[in-house]
Amino acid sequence: MEQVEETLAGKTNRCYRLRQRPTGRVTSADLELVEETVPELADGQALVRNLYLSLDPSNRIWMSEMRSYLPPVPLGEVMRAIGIGQIVASRREDFPVGALVMGFSGFQEYAVLDDATDLTPYTRLPEPTPAPLPMFLGALGHTGITAYLGMHDIGRPEPGETVFVSAAAGAVGSVAGQIAKARGARVVGLAGSPDKCAHVVEALGFDECVNYKDPAWRELLAAAVPDGVDVNFENVGGPIMDEVLLHLNIGARVVLSGMISQYEASSGTSTWAGQQSIGQLIMQRASMTGFLVLDHAERFPEAIEYLAGLLSEGRMRSDETIVEGIENVVGAINQLFEGTSTGKLLLHVGDPELAVPTG
């Protein structure tokens, strides 16, 4: 093991350092791609070769100074991101060389696993992995588990109730809607193109999908929820959420999973006008509840078992959009805000090169 480490220390690591806080879309002046050398490992550390990196709206939050559940990434630091990788050098027994791991790996090729500095401890993937690796950052990963927790704990749709899911073609929304269908609800989605809407209905099994880029989207939305909305699984915020709130039924539950429309506004340059319809929560005796998947690590096995069950029964489909190459981080992040991806957006930056340990 020491031998492996010595050949890796000094190897080049391409990584993105946050140089300034973006205004609107992210640019290469905000996130600079630099080449550095992999450091020597200390006792208790391991070296992770990143394989897939997760692109999440949260990345954009962490670049800003918005008050969030994690501190902003300090200027000059490697940009924070969740990833899957393989241990390629190790000075700790619980993470042997070859092990597949998940953690806050950052936008880089190599990450040093270190309990003293990692935001949350790395976890090992099951070996052998029961599904393709990208799925562990998607339908069976943090976005799928977000959908599970939000729909089961907060939304709790009953058979026949109407569930509205914004960003229905996205990583969380696509899973949330499929869970609601599995629970017997009528599920209406919202997405940003006719093609995405067709995908949401035909491939994901939603009952209807509204294209919010259609000038008549408000009327289309109203027509799609003739019995009102009992559960709003909200990923977008802004005027879309405001419009959905106007259709809430008495006792409705708003699952506040994300507000991607707001995240680019945190630099103060946007036209964000705030939420106009929050008062509807009073009128309809409704609740709006925020939550974070990171709080519920003890529920992950339950969630993964449920989601894997739906997948194996053919009642759920996992979509990923995979961008190739570490050099494409900036463009890939912006895809989230341009709505040009479907399902979970990932960056593929490497392949397992070492044998995965058995047992």
Binding mask 114-133 for a second copy (x = CB under 8 A): --------------------
* Residue 286 in contact with a second copy, rule: CB under 8 A: yes
- Say which DSSP state 193 is in: S
Q: Which of 108, 211, 262, 318 binds a second copy (CB under 8 A)?
A: 262
Q: Which of 193, 249, 275, 335 binds a second copy (CB under 8 A)?
A: 275
For 37, residues 6+ apart whose C-beta sits below 8 A from its C-beta are 9, 10, 11, 12, 13
* Residue 355 in contact with a second copy, rule: CB under 8 A: no
Distance CA 233, CA 155 (A): 7
Indicate the residue type of 12.
T
Half-sphere exposure (CA, 13 Å, Cβ side) for 248?
28
Q: Which of 8, 246, 308, 322 binds a second copy (CB under 8 A)?
A: 246
* Residue 331 in contact with a second copy, rule: CB under 8 A: no
Distance CA 169, CA 189 (A): 8
For CA atoms 81, 86, 92, 94, give the dihedral sign. positive
Q: Which of 174, 280, 321, 341 binds a second copy (CB under 8 A)?
A: 280
For 219, residues 6+ apart whose C-beta sits below 8 A from its C-beta are none
Distance CA 203, CA 316 (A): 9
Residue 245 CB, nearest distance to a second copy (Å)? 9
Q: Which of 274, 312, 324, 327 binds a second copy (CB under 8 A)?
A: 274
Q: Which of 287, 297, 312, 324 binds a second copy (CB under 8 A)?
A: 287
- In this chain, which stretch among 22-30, 105-113, 210-218, 268-276 interacts with a second copy, using CB under 8 A? 268-276
Tokens of 33: 């791609």
Interface with a second copy (CB under 8 A): 66-69, 237, 242, 246, 256-259, 262, 272-276, 278-292, 295
